[in-house]
């Protein structure tokens, strides 16, 4: 599958937390300790077969990027 999304980050699922309708999925990015958290539907978790240890690609598509400094 080819996608137009430029920001594609590969990693491994480290945690899946299911709610009644939604779920949070944490993906540790390859090559480091950075973790990205995605909120997706519980149904999507089941359809994708997401569980701890599953390889995954995080796709980021946004019209807005924010930065913060201390």
Topology adopted by domain 7-55: OB fold (Dihydrolipoamide Acetyltransferase, E2P) (2.40.50)
Q: What is the pLDDT of residues 19-59, one digit of tens each?
A: 999 999 999 999 999 999 999 999 999 999 999 999 999 99
Q: Strand order of the sheet with strand 7-18? A: 35-41, 22-29, 7-18, 55-60
d(CA 8, CA 20): 28
pLDDT on residue 34: 96
Query: Tokens standing for 19?
Result: 């709610």
pLDDT for 5 beyond 90: no
* Paired residues of 23 in beta bridges: 18, 40
Burial of 57: CB neighbours in 10 Å, binned 0-12, 13-18, 19+: exposed
pLDDT on residue 2: 85
Look at the pTM and tell me if it is higher than 0.95.
Answer: no
């Amino acid at each position: 599958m080819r996608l137009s999304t430029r920001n594609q980050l590969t990693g491994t699922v480290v945690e899946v937390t299911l709610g009644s309708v939604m779920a949070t999925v944490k993906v540790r990015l390859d090559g480091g300790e950075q973790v990205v958290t995605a909120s997706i539907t519980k149904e999507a978790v089941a359809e994708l077969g997401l569980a701890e240890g599953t390889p995954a690609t995080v796709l980021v598509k946004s019209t807005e990027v924010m930065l913060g400094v201390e």
